[in-house]
Structure 1
Amino acid sequence: MKLTEKKRKDILDAAIQEFREQGFPAARVNRIAELAEVSKRTLYKHFESKEVLFQAITDILLEQIAATPKLRYDPQAPLREQLIAAARDYIGHLSGAEYMGLNRLVMSELLRDQDLAQAFFAKAAMQDGPIQALIAEAMQAGALRRAEPGLAAGQLLSMIKHFLMWPEFLLGEKADVDAEAVIADCLDMFLAHYGEKD
């Protein structure tokens, strides 16, 4: 890693720490530079403002979402099993400590600042969701009835996240439920609605 890349990463890590501890409005650029062990001038060379620094952090979160494994539809394998594997991977990715902490940091600021929220969700909308391609391909192949794949994926993931992500995100502890059973039940409801009828 080049020195400039290392300094940029150190600044981002320091900003994440400062924003977590102080919140975005109270976070101080001086403190971020101190934590990163760089001068303020160096910090501003990489990020022209605290807002630009925060936007870089939201980009990291979006990159982590984009890195979620995306499975392709296999017409030779049972669709239900493919969807279970995709949902399991997605929830495993979301519940990682690093992702969860970064998500809390970003979401708390997006609730405060609607302009930032609109910019973030506009960027997020340009990405394929983690299960969207699988659902789209299953619809193309006739394994699911035709609908808007993004909407269908959002419906499925909203059900699953309600039980397996939001309790941990909001309360800091996993819900006392059987994750595999929750995923299976949500998928059965999804397939009852979108599955091709014989």
Structure 2
Amino acid sequence: MTAPQRLTDRKRDAIIQAAIVEFRANGFDITSMDKIAATAGVSKRTVYNHFPSKEELFAEILNQLWTRVTAELDTSYRPELSLREQMRRMLMAKVQMIGDENFLDLARVAIAATIHSQERAQDMIARMGKREEGLTVWIRAAQADGRLKPVDPEFAAQQVQGMLKSFAFWPQISMGQPSLSPEMQTTVVESALDMFLACYQL
């Protein structure tokens, strides 16, 4: 029973990877389920068994993208540790995750497919908002502990993540720049920490 299940999972993964390749190469609208099936090396029926429509397949790619964002690390607040130490761990994990080539591939597909569809763009933004709440919760906890100023936690979280993305995500997505070196990742994170803590730490 387990072997066929593994084969099914392998086929599903092959379909998703083929869809990413095709969406990146040709865009969402031009890519057909026939082409995805051919690239995956499976029958069209197999593709439809896993994903009833191209929209469902795209939704699964978005889901994988956000799953990676969510899995960054444990963002629970630790009163016994310095704010800088806690934030450094979270921001380093974030920068490494958004700079990963597989993640960037998924993000390029998602962004390209949403540019021409307001509905898809709204769905993507809604998912992104839900997935990035870990840092917001952490900031709120640090405020409750009397260690950060009473700024809107969501605003502050978005602000610090924007600092990371301006170096480690958008140049790679929009201009094809290479991912940051580990040294540059550290520089970007430490600089973002300096600015955030100078602005909000009590």
Instruction: Say yes or no: TM over 0.5.
Output: yes
How do residues 1-198 of structure 1 correspond to structure 2 at under 5 angstroms? 2=5, 3-174=7-178, 178-196=184-202
Q: Please give the TM-score of this superposition, normalised by the length of structure 1.
A: 0.89
**CA pair 47-178 structure 1, distance change in 2 beyond 3 A:** closer
Equivalent AA in structure 1 for residue 73 of structure 2 = P
Distance in 2 between residues matched to 1:155 and 1:128, nearest whole Å: 12
Higher relative contact order (CA 8 A, sep 6+): 2
Q: Please give the TM-score of this superposition, normalised by the length of structure 2.
A: 0.87
2:96–2:185 CA contact under 8 A, matched in 1: no
- 1:99-147 per-residue CA deviation (whole Å, 9 max, x = no partner) reads 0111111111111211001112222222343522322221121111223
Name the one with the larger helix percent. Answer: 2
Q: CA deviation at 1:75?
A: 1.6
Structure 1: gaps spanning 5 or more residues: none
Q: CA deviation at 1:148?
A: 2.7
Distance in 2 between residues matched to 1:167 and 1:159, nearest whole Å: 12
Equivalent AA in structure 2 for residue 139 of structure 1 = Q
1:90–1:130 CA contact under 8 A, matched in 2: no
RMSD, matched Cα: 2.0
Structure 2: gaps spanning 5 or more residues: none
Deviates more, 1:167-176 or 1:118-127: 167-176
Aligned length: 196
